[in-house]
């Protein structure tokens, strides 16, 4: 018997008896019709060291025109194609990420916001200056040659001179009048400025007006605000964020034109509410990356020490996490922020001093630590009758052993009360290199009235899981 729903995303309800499916450090990969399986669970990529900095705590990364810049702690650094690091100066530090953007060849400026301060790195001379004329700034962007900046403390939108990030006219500002909730977040997407309050938002564009060229787009007002200013991220040609309406519940949204579409499930919303009630979600950090045909929106909740991921391609959620062997728990995923540079996917270490490269043929986490992959299945039950499971088998890629994991193992454990308590782990090989006829099969899997299975692996080998089967017999009561 095939276990329906084995290949699916995470859906952990407030009641595990209702639904407790989990997927950690794996994502769903659909397959064309007519293949052996309809879809598979693939592992997220591992990481390898690309560059090492002197400061710790990645706060942002940006790449354009064959140059790559990152901020770790207070240090602004440039990284070349060989991973060589050159300091470009220091910036103010607060608890927020940095924002970085450029006005391209015509302007030759890199605009950085950090610690509520604006900076310009002259890309021709590599000189970093503090732009005191810009005043306080929280986030920045670039549109039509103008740098735009938001001061969240005063709900003020500011602009630089065209193609000149070192000139800021104090009269070239706008403040919110369309709603009572002040602007607290900003992002530029598709040549327009998206501005968010706590309950509502709006879109501004370059209307060519004088003296201030920007104006609100009449059809661009929307009734969803933002719960975490730095959860806002560009993904799949749009914007995603942890939002909130005037009714209060945090949820995750993806912009469709000028309309916010909720993409979080009731299970994700329940998790967000738990985070919000306990420690708040206002420090959530969002970022995104594209890889192997998938577009991922990542959001980490530092105070809750958890990371969630939405795959825009498949519309499925999964969790990501760093496996803490001391506490036997998943903590927040360490890679954070992303830049596509030198034909590589580069990410920062949120806790360390390394810029990592994603590599789908690597199966270890930051620092070479184990990358634990987990799938917890839907329930198997039949009107609370006792079910007997003489065997179970994982259909997976076989013969995947390598020098780092000569005989890779997958572990199975199961619960007979819907996921409340668990039995012991039982491991099986998925095959040394070339042993393609290996079967990951478990005999004598006991009985129960509400069976949930969990499979996991930490071995540094490919984990491609397609189906899960089990024998089943039904008792009379």
Where exactly are the structural domains of the chain?
11-44+374-474, 59-360
Residue 459: Cβ within 10 Å count: 25
- Token look-up 């099986």 returns 428
Q: One digit per residue, pLDDT tens: the chain, 477 residues?
A: 899 999 999 999 998 888 899 999 999 999 887 677 889 999 999 999 999 999 999 999 999 999 999 999 999 999 999 999 999 999 999 999 999 999 999 999 999 999 999 999 999 999 999 999 999 999 999 999 999 999 999 999 999 999 999 999 999 999 999 999 999 999 999 999 999 999 999 999 999 999 999 999 999 999 999 999 999 999 999 999 999 999 989 999 999 999 999 999 999 999 999 999 999 999 999 999 999 999 999 999 999 999 999 999 999 999 999 999 999 999 999 999 999 999 999 999 999 999 999 999 999 999 999 999 999 999 999 998 999 999 999 999 999 999 999 999 999 999 999 899 999 999 999 999 999 999 999 999 999 999 999 999 999 999 999 999 999 998 766
Task: Report phi then psi at 79, rounded to 5.
Answer: -120, 130
Angle, CA of 321, 292 and 230, to the nearest 5°: 50
Compute the distance between CA of residue 316 and CA of residue 44 in angstroms, rounded to an integer.
Answer: 14
Just give the CATH number of 59-360: 2.130.10.10
Element (DSSP H or E) covering residue 324: strand 322-324
Q: Does the domain made of 11-44+374-474 have the CATH classification 2.60.120?
A: yes
What global pTM score does this model have? 0.96
Question: What are 391's strand-pairing partners?
Answer: 443
């Amino acid at each position: 018997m095939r276990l329906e729903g084995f290949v699916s995303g995470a859906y952990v309800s407030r009641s595990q008896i209702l639904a407790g499916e989990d997927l950690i450090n794996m994502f769903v990969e659909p397959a064309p019709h007519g293949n052996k399986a309809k879809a598979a669970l693939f592992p997220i990529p591992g990481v390898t060291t690309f560059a090492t900095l002197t400061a710790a705590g990645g706060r942002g990364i940006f790449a354009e025109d064959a140059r790559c810049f990152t901020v770790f702690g207070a240090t602004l650094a440039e990284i070349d194609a060989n991973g060589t690091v050159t300091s470009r100066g220091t910036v103010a530090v607060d608890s927020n990420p940095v924002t970085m953007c450029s006005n391209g060849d015509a302007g030759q400026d890199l605009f950085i916001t950090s610690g509520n301060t604006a900076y310009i790195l002259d890309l021709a001379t590599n000189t970093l200056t503090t732009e005191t004329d810009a005043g306080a700034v929280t986030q920045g962007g670039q549109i039509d040659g103008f740098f735009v900046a938001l001061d969240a403390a005063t709900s003020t939108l500011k602009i630089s001179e065209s193609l000149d990030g070192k000139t800021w006219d104090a009269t070239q500002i706008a403040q919110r009048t369309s709603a009572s909730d002040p602007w607290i977040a900003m992002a530029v997407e598709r040549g327009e400025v998206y501005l968010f309050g706590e309950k509502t938002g709006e879109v501004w564009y370059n209307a060519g007006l004088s003296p201030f060229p920007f104006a609100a787009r009449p059809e661009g007002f929307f009734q969803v605000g933002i719960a975490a200013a730095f959860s806002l991220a560009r993904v799949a040609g749009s914007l995603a964020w942890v939002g909130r309406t005037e009714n209060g519940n945090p949820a995750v949204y993806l912009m469709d034109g000028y309309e916010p579409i909720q993409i979080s499930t009731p299970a994700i919303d329940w998790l967000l509410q738990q985070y919000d009630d306990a420690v708040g979600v206002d420090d959530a950090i969002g970022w995104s990356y594209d890889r192997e045909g998938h577009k991922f929106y990542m959001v980490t909740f530092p105070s809750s020490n958890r990371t969630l991921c939405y795959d825009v391609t498949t519309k499925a959620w999964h969790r990501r996490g760093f496996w803490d062997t001391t506490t036997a728990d998943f903590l927040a995923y360490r890679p954070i922020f992303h830049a596509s540079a030198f034909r590589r996917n580069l990410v920062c270490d949120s806790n360390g001093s390394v810029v990592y490269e994603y590599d789908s043929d690597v199966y270890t986490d930051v620092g070479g630590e184990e990358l634990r992959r987990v799938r917890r299945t839907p329930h198997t039950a039949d009107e609370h009758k006792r079910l007997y499971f003489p065997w179970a088998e994982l259909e997976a890629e076989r013969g995947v052993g390598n020098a780092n994991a000569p005989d890779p193992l997958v572990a199975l454990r199961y619960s007979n009360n819907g996921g409340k308590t668990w039995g012991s782990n039982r491991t099986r090989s998925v095959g040394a290199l070339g042993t393609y006829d290996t079967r990951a099969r478990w005999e004598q899997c006991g009985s129960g009235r509400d069976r949930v299975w969990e499979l996991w692996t930490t071995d540094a080998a490919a984990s491609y899981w397609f189906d899960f089967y089990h024998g089943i017999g039904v008792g009379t009561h």
